[in-house]
């Protein structure tokens, strides 16, 4: 018994986000050995249709799956967060209270780029390489954009009226595939739980295990009456998908097979040790430091004022997610000695390069050149990093002030003279809606942080004239400088702002504003020009491309199976349900229960608070038919060792029969080096149990009709 337990704990995952249309025989055999019960040929089949037809992309930001013959699609709540936030108002705060469409008339249309269904994949390698060879020598750095434009234009004409096309590079340009997608734009929100369910534990529990999140949301896709994709219309009808996933209510057990299909965003598994070291020691620390301070500011104001929370919840959610990932990457790079492991691989690569005289002549100094290049660029990368995280990204008012100046020019051009923006009702309403997204108390603190950190870390040569003059004028007192900006800017006081909009204020006057001057004094071109001077000769991008290409060729020559880096194309990954062995003597079980929610419950901490009626349901322990038959518990989340990354959020997690058992929504802290390194023991995929989703819909939301639809009852 002990031996069986240890073997389950120490089971090593199979690395790889494999292309769904290239499941070769060796991979299929491994999947079957791990527990796949389906014929691998049925996972993807362009002619007959496959399981992949039920898996969708939410405009390549998240993944989802079709779960009913009436167009019902399920994904993560955090993928729907912006839609729920956009629908929310102080009177109807769907983030806090949940969104429940009790019939189809209440389903809410959402804006966006639609839901994408993969229909066909075509190998266009020879065509692209021919175009590349004919254009790149003449076209310089932007030539590949021209290549993609030409090849996609050709296939767009070929498949005109049948959908959208997208060409993707694999293995550093060794392969190119054209994907044809069918895109549906009429998408309506059906159900989304309140944040106390969907993100219980908030950013504190993100990337941790165990978690207790009901991270799901439901949409319905609508089509024209003839079943074709269409823009929103009240006359549209629910989609009839060609394939749906059957939901399994049997639950999961340790050792169960699990596979994930979805659209992972970006990985860089073939990055050099030099790049990993640069990320660990130069790039990420800056982002983690500044974004962490921004989060403290926003969180402080959100805790003081519910109106601020409503305005900033979406931004804070995005900010915290990225900040935690970058912080986790630093932790994992150090914990697993990733750069050192890469260097060990590079010893083998160097030996392979030198084993061929032609390769040795052309690439013998590649690793040395990479080392020298990264060291020479370290200074400017730090300068760029601090500029990017402070003035460029840290001042959120950038977008608004630029839009207003352009609006003044547009109104003047349309009227033949400068007139008040307020005279143009449509333009004025857009601007005021944008203005209402901000709270100037929060923005002042964010600007104060950005200017203070900018001056502290960026060398004066990059400040620009205005910032240099003001620094001297205020004798380095950034607090006084920001106070002066706020007292004199048109944008920072609503009365001054509305007065400017009601007068014939010119674009030049808007741009002369001290707030605009502060954020425009230094521009990215200053940093790019300096970087270009340092990155002379063979560019860093060329060296990195050569490195990846040589790795690919070496693996190919040695017959080593290899998957391409994730790039938002459909992938499949397989693994096993199992516990997490954190460190010596500490093992976290593979499933979490309601008990954990009640243990974490704290009414004085927002992220661990519960609605009274929800807490009462948990305490009543009425799990109904959603309880696990072997234990009587209601399971919330479970973990597998599937290889996933950003973009996989919302991906269906399926058992060996291809039935839906959960949704992937997170990883663990120990997996946060996953973009460049996969640890076969520590990398975990955190999933919401589909039975918890059904319990929420049934017992909490009272959406029995939706449960019946999902289960085909």
The DSSP line for 422-486 is GGSHHHHHHHHHHHTT--HHHHHHHHHHHHHHHHHHS-GGGT-HHHHHHHHHTTT-HHHHHHHHH
Q: What does the pLDDT read at residue 645?
A: 95
CB 220 within 8 A of CB 73: yes
The confidence score (pLDDT) of residue 601 equals 98
**DSSP state letters, 499-514:** HHHHTT--HHHHHTSH
Residues catalogued as catalytic: 78, 215, 649
Q: Quote the tokens at residue 630.
A: 């072997």
CA distance 286 to 297: 17
Query: pLDDT at position 414, please?
Result: 87
- How far is Cα 652 from Cα 432, in angstroms, rounded to an integer? 40
Cβ pair 241, 71 in contact under 8 A: yes
Q: What residue spans of 559-689 are helical by DSSP H? A: 594-600, 612-620
Q: Which residue has the tokens 């608070």?
A: 609
Instruction: Give the integer Cα–Cα distance in Å for 39 and 400.
Output: 54
| Matching residue, tokens 């000695």 | 337
Q: Following DSSP, what letter does each residue of 204-252 receive, concatenated?
A: HHTT-SS------EEEEEEE-TTS------TT-EE---S--PPBP-S--
pLDDT of residue 142: 66
User: With contact defined as beta carbons under 8 Å apart, do 72 and 190 qualify?
Assistant: yes
Q: Where are the domains of the chain?
A: 2-114+185-269+565-711, 115-184
CATH number of 2-114+185-269+565-711: 2.40.10.120
Report residues of the chain scoring pLDDT below 70. Answer: 1-12, 136-142
Strand partners, 689: 662
Read off the tokens for 39.
């014929």
Q: Which residue has the tokens 């699609």?
A: 73
**Residues 6 or more apart from 301 whose CB is under 8 A from it?**
308, 312, 439, 441, 442, 445
pLDDT tens digits for range 52-66: 999 999 999 999 999
Max Cα–Cα distance, the chain, nearest Å: 85
CB 182 within 8 A of CB 166: no
Q: How many helices (H) and strands (E) does the chain have?
A: 28, 21
User: What token pair was written down for 294?
Assistant: 């921004």
Cα distances from 400 to residues 144, 301, 332, 419, 425, in angstroms, run: 33, 21, 38, 19, 17
| Distances, alpha carbon 455 to alpha carbons 45, 188, 476, in Å | 57, 46, 8
For 179, residues 6+ apart whose C-beta sits below 8 A from its C-beta are: 118, 120, 121, 122, 165, 166, 167, 168, 569, 570
Provide the token pair at 62: 């998240």
Q: What is the pLDDT of residue 84?
A: 97
d(CA 429, CA 411): 14
Q: Are 628 and 635 in contact (CB under 8 A)?
A: yes
Report phi then psi at 270, rounded to 5.
-100, 20
The per-residue pLDDT for range 146-170, each reduced to its tens digit, is: 899 999 999 999 999 889 999 999 9
Question: What was the pLDDT predicted at 376?
Answer: 97
C-beta separation of 170 from 562 below 8 A = no
pTM, two decimal places:
0.88
Q: Strand pairing partners for 63?
A: 57
Does the bond joining 210 to the residue before it have cis omega, within 30 degrees of 0? Answer: yes
- The Cα 681–Cα 670 span in angstroms is 10
């Amino acid at each position: 018994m002990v031996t069986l337990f240890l073997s389950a704990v120490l089971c090593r995952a199979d690395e790889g986000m494999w292309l769904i249309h290239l499941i070769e025989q060796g991979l299929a055999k491994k999947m079957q050995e791990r527990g796949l019960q389906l014929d691998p040929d049925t996972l993807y089949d362009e002619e007959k249709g496959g399981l992949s037809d039920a898996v969708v992309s939410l405009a390549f930001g998240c993944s989802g799956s079709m779960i009913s013959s009436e167009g019902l699609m399920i994904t993560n709540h955090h993928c729907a967060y912006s839609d729920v936030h956009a629908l929310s108002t102080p009177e109807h705060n769907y983030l806090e209270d949940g969104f429940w469409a009790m019939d189809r008339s209440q389903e809410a249309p959402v804006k966006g780029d639609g839901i994408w269904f993969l229909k066909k994949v075509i190998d266009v390698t020879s065509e692209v390489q021919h175009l590349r060879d004919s254009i790149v020598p003449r076209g310089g750095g932007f030539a590949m954009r021209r290549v993609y434009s030409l090849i996609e234009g050709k296939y767009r004409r070929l498949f005109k009226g049948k959908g959208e096309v997208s060409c993707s590079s694999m293995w550093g340009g060794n392969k190119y595939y054209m994907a044809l997608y069918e895109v549906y734009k009429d998408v309506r929100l059906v159900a989304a739980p309140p944040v106390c369910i969907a993100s219980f534990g908030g950013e504190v529990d993100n990337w941790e295990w165990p978690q207790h999140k009901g991270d799901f949301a439901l949409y319905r896709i609508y089509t024209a009456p003839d079943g074709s994709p269409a823009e929103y219309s009240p006359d549209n009808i629910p989609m009839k998908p060609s394939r749906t996933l059957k939901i399994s209510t049997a639950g999961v057990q340790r050792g169960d097979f699990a596979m994930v299909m979805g659209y992972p965003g970006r990985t860089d598994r073939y990055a050099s040790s030099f790049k990993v070291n640069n990320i660990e020691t130069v790039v990420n620390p800056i982002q983690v430091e500044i974004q962490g301070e921004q989060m403290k500011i926003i969180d402080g104001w959100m805790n003081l004022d519910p109106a601020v929370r409503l305005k900033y919840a979406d931004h804070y959610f995005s900010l915290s997610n990225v900040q935690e990932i970058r912080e986790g990457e630093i932790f994992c790079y150090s914990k697993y000695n990733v750069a050192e492991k890469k260097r060990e691989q590079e010893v083998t690569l160097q030996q392979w390069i030198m084993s061929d005289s032609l390769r040795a002549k052309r690439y013998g100094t590649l690793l040395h050149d990479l080392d020298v290049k990264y060291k020479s660029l370290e200074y400017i990368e730090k300068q760029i990093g601090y500029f990017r995280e402070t003035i460029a990204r840290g001042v959120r008012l950038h977008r608004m002030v630029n839009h207003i100046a352009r609006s003044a020019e547009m109104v003047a051009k349309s009227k033949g003279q400068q007139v008040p923006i307020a005279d143009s009702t449509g333009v004025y309403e857009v601007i005021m809606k944008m203005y209402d997204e901000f709270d100037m108390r929060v923005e002042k603190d964010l600007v104060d942080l950005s200017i203070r950190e900018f001056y502290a870390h960026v060398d004066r040569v990059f400040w620009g004239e205005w910032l240099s003059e003001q620094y001297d004028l205020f004798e380095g007192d950034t607090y006084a400088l920001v106070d002066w900006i706020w007292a004199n800017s048109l944008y920072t006081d609503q009365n001054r702002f509305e007065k400017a909009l009601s007068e014939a204020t010119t674009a030049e006057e808007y741009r002369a504003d001290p707030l605009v001057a502060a954020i425009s004094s230094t521009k990215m071109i200053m940093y790019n020009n300096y970087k270009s001077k340092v990155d002379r000769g063979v560019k860093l991008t060329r060296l990195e491309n050569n490195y990846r290409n040589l790795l690919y060729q070496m693996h190919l020559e040695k017959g080593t199976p290899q998957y391409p880096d994730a790039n938002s194309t459909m992938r499949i990954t397989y693994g096993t349900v199992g516990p997490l062995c954190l460190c010596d003597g500490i093992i976290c079980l593979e499933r979490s229960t309601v008990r954990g929610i009640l243990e974490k419950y704290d009414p004085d901490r927002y992220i661990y608070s519960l609605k009274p009626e929800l807490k009462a349901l948990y305490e009543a322990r009425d799990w109904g038919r959603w309880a696990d038959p072997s234990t009587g518990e209601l399971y919330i989340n479970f973990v597998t060792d599937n290889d996933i990354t950003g973009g996989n959020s919302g991906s269906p997690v399926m058992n060996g029969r291809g039935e839906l058992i959960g949704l992937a929504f997170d990883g663990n802290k120990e997996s946060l080096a996953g973009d460049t390194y996969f640890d076969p023991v520590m990398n975990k995929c955190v999933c919401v149990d589909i039975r918890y989703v059904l319990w929420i819909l049934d017992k909490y939301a009272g959406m029995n009709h939706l449960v019946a639809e999902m289960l085909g009852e």
